[in-house]
Amino acid sequence: MIGLMESQLADLRTVHGPLAPRRYGRICSCDGGLIQVSGLPVPIGSLCRILTSGPTLGPQAEVIGFRGQFSLMMLLGDTVMLHPGALVRAEGEPGTVAVGEAFLGRAIDATGAPIDGGKPIRSAARWALGGRREGALERSSVIEPFDCGVRAMNALTTMGIGQRLGIIAGSGVGKSVLLDMIAGGCESEIAVVALIGERAREVSDFVSRHMTGPMRRRMVIIAVPADHAANLRLRGAQLAASMAEYFRAQGRQVTLIMDSLTRVAHAAREIGLLLGEPGAARGYPPSALAAVTKLVERAGNSSVSGGSITGIYTVLADGDDPDDPVVDSARAILDGHIVLSRELAQQGQYPAIDVTASLSRVMDGVTSREHQKNAREFRSLVAQYQANRDLVLMGAYREGADAGIDRAIAMHDRLREFLIQPPDKPVSLAESIEQLALTLTDRPPV
């Protein structure tokens, strides 16, 4: 008993709470998840606790704006037991979140609370939730290749350390499976994984697969399922970016994996419309698309610390529409994109990467000329086969009419075999380059 009390006292010594009197506000109105609070002027982004009349503490709320003397807050929980005049108090340090080594090997929610059944996480390190803005010249160039463990990406859309890459596809085409392959096969010091707006079952499966063995010591998972409030989903994405920025500031190489940017945009759209902002592009207010841009721009290389954040984001194309506003905005700001094809997935090709529509804007700076030549040749063969596939199937094409088409038809099976990869068998960058060269030779691959 004495030992238990001593350990609890030691924990209390590390907590430095404010000594000033605590200020309270009162709820004036509640409209859905939006509440107005008087007498509590706290900054936007602050977390507050609502004190209900029950035996337990009430739900949390986040400040998302203000009108006159009223603070506008969005609930992070249920409206049950909420009543007019309920007391509201601010919690924590406004605008900052806890980060640090204590989160490695843990799965947490958007507030930093553990969801893996482990003990509470205590960390003295804090970081701005919205990030610390850096000058454009403080971002160093992408000059080193990044090994993602996926053969088709390593060989044909080679990534670089500090790149921001998007995986664009419709629903059910394999975005999450491809992210799973990258999370298990990539080489990085720290991996920060944000599962935003996904199914709770996928979160559970991901944690059970990756939070085991040596990988656990270098990974943090921030999970906010689809049934959580919009501001929790947005806050979860911002927390993941803050966690990655903290480790980058220490000079470490971080891989930030986020699934998905579209769910973040949906959350920002809900908040914007709730505040009365008019919808613009297909119902998305300007602030929703700006939230995506700000989130992506937080990744990259730092010339000050020497650290890096390699960002990999999934982008859901609603209705398989490539001109969806979120897809278009993401494609414009990212350093490359991988397009997954529903047609290829239906043909049994996994991962269903459409190599002719995918590109990496940094590939030429991180690969050799021989590798670039082989990648262009591979793309050309795939493009020629796809352009003439209907003619071949109808029997309208005669062999010998075009040497390039003849070679594309003859090598189609080998090219397709190269693109297919089992999810549990990562392929290194060196192996991918070697197998690419071997696939393009006239002799059969070993």
| Mean pLDDT calculated for residue range 389-416 | 83
Query: Residue 57: pLDDT above 90?
Result: no
Over pLDDT 70: what percentage of the chain?
94
For the record, the structure tokens of 41 come out as 């002027």
| pLDDT at residue 11 tops 70 | no
For the ranges 136-140, 258-262, 353-357, 421-425, which has the lowest average pLDDT?
136-140
pLDDT digit string, tens, across residues 337-363: 999 999 999 888 999 999 999 999 999
- What's the pLDDT score for residue 18? 54
Taking the CA atoms of the chain, what radius of gyration do you get in angstroms?
25
What band does 19 get if pLDDT is binned at 50, 70 and 90? low
Q: Do residues 26 and 87 make contact, with C-beta atoms less than 8 angstroms apart?
A: yes
Q: Which domains does the chain have, with CATH numbers?
A: 19-90 (2.40.30.20), 96-367 (3.40.50.12240), 370-441 (1.20.1270.330)
Residue pLDDT, tens place only, 89-122: 988 777 888 999 999 999 999 989 999 888 989 8
Mean per-residue pLDDT over the chain, rounded: 87
Which band of pLDDT confidence, cut at 50, 70 and 90, is reported for residue 300? very high
Q: Is the pLDDT of residue 14 over 60?
A: no
Per-residue pLDDT, averaged over 291-315, amounts to 93
Query: How far apart, in whole angstroms, are the C-alpha atoms of residue 417 and residue 419?
Result: 5
Mean pLDDT confidence for 213-231: 87
* Residue among 311, 231, 306 at smallest CA distance from 63: 231
Residue 77's nearest CA partner among 92, 60, 55 is: 60
Residue 246 near residue 112, CB atoms below 8 Å: no
So what's the pLDDT on residue 376?
95
Residue 7: which pLDDT band, with cuts at 50, 70 and 90? low
* pLDDT grade for 317, boundaries at 50, 70 and 90: confident
**Cβ-count burial 256-295 (b if 16+ within 10 Å, e if not):** bbbbbbbbbbbbbbbbbbbeebeeeeeebbebbbebbebb
Question: Does the structure show a pLDDT above 90 at 374?
Answer: yes
Position 55 confidence tier, pLDDT thresholds 50, 70, 90? low
Q: Which range scores top for mean pLDDT: 27-36, 347-356, 386-395? A: 347-356
